[in-house]
Chain A
Amino acid sequence: MIRLGVPSKGRLMEQTFDWFADRGVRLSRAGSDREYAGRVEGVDGVQLVLLSAGEIPRELAAGRIELGVTGTDLVREKLAGWSSDLVELAPMGFGHADLILAVPECWRDCTDLDDFAAIARDFRAEHGFRLRIATKYHRLVRAWLSAHEVADYQLVDSQGATEGTVANMTAEAIADITSSGETLRANNLRILNEPPILRSQATLFANRAAMGPAMDALIARLAAPEAGRSA
């Protein structure tokens, strides 16, 4: 039995159901909207498990599910050395979001990461502590800044409403996921003129240890949309 983990609510769940339906596999919730059991039609040997998107990476790595749909951002953030435990099977074409670094719009002297590094150095000398970046993506942001040799900063944890931290004086910059940038603009923040830290989208992952003939057959089945099926 292959257990398939799917986000349990919202657009992400609906789009995942559509993606599988296009490939002849009908996923649905059993019973009412409040029930987290699921039904699978059109393929044998697959069980649907509805989970919070944020828990799917951990459940995959632990082997409690064999297949899962979640964002590449969550997998890379939550699992150190993710590729030793997981296989990336297919980008699914929705749930697009970029992880970006944003600074206050009023910083007219800050357009790119070189400016940011210089400002961080000045800030530390002036204030006696390192410039604070609010984020929940600690691993990804640290690795990216380290690769770009930016040193004079510290990360402060922010699990939500991250865009508000600058106005609240609890951070000088933020690193967060954005799709349109609208929330950033509304909070007078501007994205640095650099490629994003990560371009994320909903992706089908498998547990590496679960790979085998049954999984190969299912992957082959999911490889391409079936013409006319989704109409």
Chain B
Amino acid sequence: MLARIFAPIVVGLGFVTALVFAILFTPHDAAQPNVVEEFHKDPKAIHYASDGPLGKFDRQQLQRGFQVYQEVCSACHSIRLVHFRDLEEIGFTKPEVKAIAKQYKIEQPSINPDTGEATTRKNLPSDPIPWNFANEIAARAANNNALPPDLSLMVKAREGGAPYIYSLLTGFAPVPANLPASNRPAPNLHYNPYFANLNIAMPPPLTADGQVEYSDGTKATVDQMARDVSAFLIWTAEPKLEARHRAGIGVVIFLLIATVLAYMSYRNIWAGKKH
């Protein structure tokens, strides 16, 4: 009986004493003022057509975003999980997709069927969208040893999602005068308060209004291009978003009705039974 009470107390006191010693003997340095935190900015508030439970993609915008990707981002970044055929989902017709694939400026790595040598061929709709670089080493060599990350999942792979990408693209700024020397951008780095450590290897990609020429007449301001390409990246990261929203509404309505019926049957069965 006594053992029942003393055994746990002895074990408990063991853990508690270890923790009390940890509290007493861990150096509790005064928190260093965090320079990065002081200058770092949270993503700007920005709204997309695909936001919210009823959100749908603005296909016109996705096409403009694809154009920005194609003419600007694709110089360095890949979207390796997206296939040309997927572009039908953002409103291109089958022949258009075929043409886009065929005319795409980067060709598909291939093998010469006669000699077996490495070669390239024109893209087909079934091909993944190819990368401008043959491999990671080539990409690093061309970018001061910084690797331009694949963008397919970028919206889901970064805290803040699409608004973060939009903020990053429009957030390049002159280095603040009061930024301590240790946090100033090293050579080939660029100050951007939306980036985690304030200094990003990517040079500002969207530099001037009219950098791309939109065929739908939308004015291609830097802000507009950043919006469009970040919207496009929502789609590359979550191509089934619309199907998910649509199915979700149906499932939730169905479940709510079923739950109300289940509640009524519960009340009915228990009627008159005190509990």
A, B in one complex: no
